[in-house]
Amino acid sequence: MSSDGAVPENRGVQQELLASVDLGAELEGMAGLQLRMRMFTFEAGAVFGPMHDHKDRPGIVYVLGGTITDHRDGVATDYGPGVGWAEDRNTRHWLENRGTVPAVEISVDIVRTT
């Protein structure tokens, strides 16, 4: 799939919430925010679209297995096991698994709950 072409429909991705923490109960000034950790499994050929951003939702990702291709700024970057990336307010991207085996990542981010 080309980085410059239209982003395909979301398909073949499952997510599981592993843990979450209400940050308002933990830190002053953090009311309405949650820290969450999720595991995503990308089947072979899976797409996590559409193009999306992380404004007001910073996070970090770590790949456990397989290879995930991150498409941003017209560049496709492959990430394999033991590698990760940051998702900040300037991140605008979509993801896919171009491989023939499932890919698994752990995603940790901060989200608004209110």
Domains of the chain: 11-112 (2.60.120.10)
Answer yes or no: is pLDDT of 1 > 70.
no
9: three-class secondary structure by DSSP: coil
Rounded CA separation 65/41 (Å): 9
When pLDDT is averaged across residues 29-50 and rounded to a whole number, the result is 96
When pLDDT is averaged across residues 79-99 and rounded to a whole number, the result is 96
Rounded CA separation 13/43 (Å): 6
> Can you give the pTM of this predicted structure?
0.90
Rounded CA separation 30/99 (Å): 39
Answer yes or no: is pLDDT of 36 > 70.
yes
